[in-house]
Amino acid sequence: MVEIPQITELRALGDETKAADLAAYHKAERPYLGVPVPVIDELARVWRAELDVEGRLELARELWTSDIHEARVAAAKLLTQARIRPDEGAWQLITSWVAEFDAWAIADHVMKAGEKRLVADPARLDEVETWLDDASPWVRRAALVGTLPWTRIRNPKAEDLARRERILGWCEKLADDHQKFVQNAIGWWLRDLSKHDPQRVATWLDAHGARLKPYARREAGRWLKDKPEPDQPS
């Protein structure tokens, strides 16, 4: 089978020592090349500029199918942009990968692309909510990682606040899920929200914090001291 040029390009930039370190760190059984993420980011930027939407989707599929760590990261980065029109194909491709998540790095890179599509069409939250009941902790974690944009809105509208509350309900549902990476995602989501609405996070922790693992609870409350008043709807 002939290798696509983009994977050949990735291989040429690899480092065997770094590849071995990555394999030991991530523990997922797949090939590693040892290419740093900033280098992958730059390559994906160049490839993206050379292709239309359909071309990007096809290249992303091929990169993902290779099962090479760096190629899967590159596949996600090809789709990480705010404007993709039309974007239904990109969303479908991203969600098709979710069931294959088996390590945090690839999953989080994919959900960085996914969050752009969720912001573009928040109705997709209905689909993401079904992930909360998935048997895989990586899929459950992805529901929170992909919705982080709703923690960062500086001047939220009423609908933004309603979506925040919805996702805080997801955090509540997952609070007793003591899988490490799910707990990390809850702590991350609450910590980021505390920059803009510390009182809401404090209230959530008062009600549900005891159900979290101590490290997740500490992460959630890391920035709660000396915070300004929460953002108000515009």
212 versus 231: the higher-pLDDT residue is 212
Residues 57 and 140 in one domain: no
Measure the CA–CA gap between 166 and 168, rounded to whole angstroms: 5
**pTM here?**
0.91
Domain of residue 205: give its range. Answer: 121-234
Tell me what the pLDDT averaged over the chain comes to: 95
What value does the mean pLDDT take over residues 83-93?
95
What is the rounded CA–CA span in Å between residue 52 and residue 57? 9
Residues 69, 149 within the same domain: no
Please identify, among 86, 120, 154, the residue that sits at the C-terminal boundary of a domain: 120
Mean pLDDT of 25-37: 96
Q: Domain count of the chain?
A: 2
Q: Which of 120, 148, 178 is the last residue of a domain?
A: 120
- Whether 103 and 145 map to the same domain: the answer is no
Q: How many CB atoms lie within 10 A of CB 4?
A: 15
Same domain flag for 127 and 100: no
The pLDDT, as a whole number, for residue 227 is 45
Tens-digit pLDDT profile for residues 100-136: 999 999 999 999 999 999 999 999 999 999 999 999 9
Q: Look at residue 226 in the predicted model and tell me its pLDDT.
A: 53
Check whether residue 41 and residue 144 sit in a common domain. Answer: no
pLDDT at position 1 is 65
The amino acid at residue 93 is L
pLDDT average, residue stretch 25-31 = 94
Per-residue confidence (pLDDT) for residue 225, from 0 to 100: 76
In the predicted model, what is the mean pLDDT of residues 175-183? 97
Whether 63 and 131 share a structural domain: no
Confidence of residue 2 (pLDDT cuts 50, 70, 90): confident
Cα–Cα distances (Å) from 224 to 113, 170, 208, 227, in that order, read 29, 21, 16, 6
CB 181 within 8 A of CB 137: yes
Does the pLDDT at position 80 exceed 60? Answer: yes
CA distances from 218 to 104, 141, 186 (A): 20, 18, 11
pLDDT digits (tens, 9 = 90+) for 32-52: 999 999 999 999 999 999 999
Within this chain, do residues 170 and 137 fall inside the same structural domain, yes or no? yes
Q: How far apart are CA 121 and CA 85, in angstroms?
A: 12
Share of the chain above pLDDT 70, in %: 96
Tokens of 169: 């309900």
Domain end call among 120, 146, 181 = 120
pLDDT at 228 over 60: no
Long-range contacts: 51-54, Cβ < 8 Å, 24+? 53/84, 53/85, 53/86, 53/89, 53/90, 54/89
pLDDT over 80 at 221, yes or no: yes
Residues in the chain: 234
Does residue 234 register a pLDDT over 50?
A: no
Q: Is residue 141 domain-shared with residue 93, that is, in the same domain?
A: no
Q: Does 50 share its domain with 90? A: yes
Same domain, 216 and 168: yes
**Are 116 and 1 contained in the same domain?**
yes
- Would you place residue 82 in the very low, low, confident or very high pLDDT band (cuts 50, 70, 90)? confident
- 44 plus 8 within the same structural domain: yes
- For the segment 171-181, the average pLDDT, to the nearest whole number, is 97
CATH number of the domain within which 195 lies: 1.25.40.290
